[in-house]
A and B are shown apart, each in its own frame.
Chain A
Amino acid sequence: DAKTTQPNSMESNEEEPVHLPCNHSTISGTDYIHWYRQLPSQGPEYVIHGLTSNVNNRMASLAIAEDRKSSTLILHRATLRDAAVYYCILRQYSGAGSYQLTFGKGTKLSVIP
């Protein structure tokens, strides 16, 4: 399984940008980089994904290194509602038209008011 490495925890002040790093040095050419987050007592929620180029959506931005061995999830202005565990995942094809997410330990983000 392709592996990702993330810091166990990070803190941010409210309304400041947050950069969540992820290393995935064994990524293969067909692996998409996905980010999910899990708020307390809820199921995980899709945040963003990318392959090679940087990506933006309404929730966050994803910056992917040129060699694709690392990526950074950027929350532009952290709010208290962004406090969650953020998972960086390499999406892999699992056959029969479906894709598998192998969750790592993730980064627990705390937002300080």
Chain B
Amino acid sequence: DAMVIQNPRYQVTQFGKPVTLSCSQTLNHNVMYWYQQKSSQAPKLLFHYYDKDFNNEADTPDNFQSRRPNTSFCFLDIRSPGLGDAAMYLCATSTPSRSGSYEQYFGPGTRLTVT
């Protein structure tokens, strides 16, 4: 089945130690998104790629970076994680559809713990 895969599902990192979360997709979608979801809150968009074009949300901290080496993979790098960065990180993809829905397909998320 075509899908959005996130690895690992659970990640523990130390305060200030760089960490990379990965997302891959078999849907061949040209748009990939990263969201942050803190406990009991709604997902918040960090940035997205349309093909290789990177689009950063205005309030996304500089501590968060992203890379998309090819259509299938996208990475979220947190350069110096703080305790406040502990959250679920969600990857999503989308592409134009005949229905015009541009629906987003989400992965299961990576839960990041910062110790």
Residues of A in contact with B (beta carbons under 8 Å apart): 32, 34, 36, 42-46, 49, 87, 91, 94-106
Residues of A within 8 A of B44 (CB): 103
Given A103-B42, A105-B42, verify A96-B104 contact (CB < 8 Å): no
Q: How far is the CB of B53 from chain A (nearest CB, A)?
A: 5
Contact between B43 and A103 (Cβ–Cβ < 8 Å)?
yes
Q: Is the interface of A mostly helix, strand, loop or mixed?
A: loop
Given A42-B108, A49-B103, A103-B44, verify A98-B55 contact (CB < 8 Å): yes
Number of A-B contacts (CB under 8 A): 57
Contact between B42 and A43 (Cβ–Cβ < 8 Å)?
no
Within 8 A of A (CB), among B76-115: 90, 92, 94, 96, 100-109
Neighbour of A96 across the interface among B55, B92, B103, B109, CB < 8 A: B55
Q: How far is the CB of B58 from chain A (nearest CB, A)?
A: 11
Neighbour of A43 across the interface among B31, B48, B53, B109, CB < 8 A: B109
Contact between A46 and B42 (Cβ–Cβ < 8 Å)?
no
A20 to B31: give the CA distance in the assembly, Å.
Answer: 30
A91 to B106: give the CA distance in the assembly, Å.
Answer: 16
Q: How far is the CB of B21 from chain A (nearest CB, A)?
A: 13
Q: Which 7 A-B pairs have the closest CB atoms?
A: A43-B106, A103-B42, A46-B103, A96-B50, A99-B102, A98-B50, A98-B31
A109 to B100: give the CA distance in the assembly, Å.
Answer: 28
Given A49-B103, A91-B102, A101-B104, verify A43-B45 contact (CB < 8 Å): no
A91 to B100: give the CA distance in the assembly, Å.
Answer: 11
A34 to B10: give the CA distance in the assembly, Å.
Answer: 29
A98 to B29: give the CA distance in the assembly, Å.
Answer: 11
Residues of B within 8 A of A96 (CB): 50, 53, 55
Contact between B50 and A44 (Cβ–Cβ < 8 Å)?
no
Residues of A within 8 A of B103 (CB): 34, 46, 49
A99 to B50: give the CA distance in the assembly, Å.
Answer: 10
A100 to B50: give the CA distance in the assembly, Å.
Answer: 12
Neighbour of B92 across the interface among A43, A102, A104, CB < 8 A: A43
